[in-house]
Amino acid sequence: MITIVYFYTTHALEKMDALGIGKSEAELVITRGMKWKEEKRDEIWHASMGNLEVVFGKEDSSIVIITVYLARREK
């Protein structure tokens, strides 16, 4: 079994604090939400679930959460 290690940018932690979102909620969006890659930046992923969107990068068993925000439109 592979263990995923999550890292958070300072920006992501500040946004999560401002929005009242915990790490477990952001990680849940990544594991269970709808995911897609950006067209022009192949290494950047988005995950969306409910009204929350998480932007992250991944490499092997590490995920770096770049930012978190409230989704304003349906995908």
60 part of a folded domain: yes
- Number of domains the chain is built from: 1
Query: How high is the pLDDT of residue 45?
Result: 95
What is the chain's pLDDT, residue by residue, as a tens digit (75 residues)? Answer: 788 999 999 999 999 999 999 999 999 999 999 999 988 887 899 999 999 999 999 988 899 999 999 987 654
Range of the domain at 51: 5-70
pTM comes to 0.89
**DSSP labels for 20-48?**
T--HHHHHHHHHHSEEEE-SS-TTEEEEE
Query: How high is the pLDDT of residue 40?
Result: 83
Query: How high is the pLDDT of residue 67?
Result: 97
The CATH number of residue 23's host domain is: 3.30.2310.20
75 part of a folded domain: no
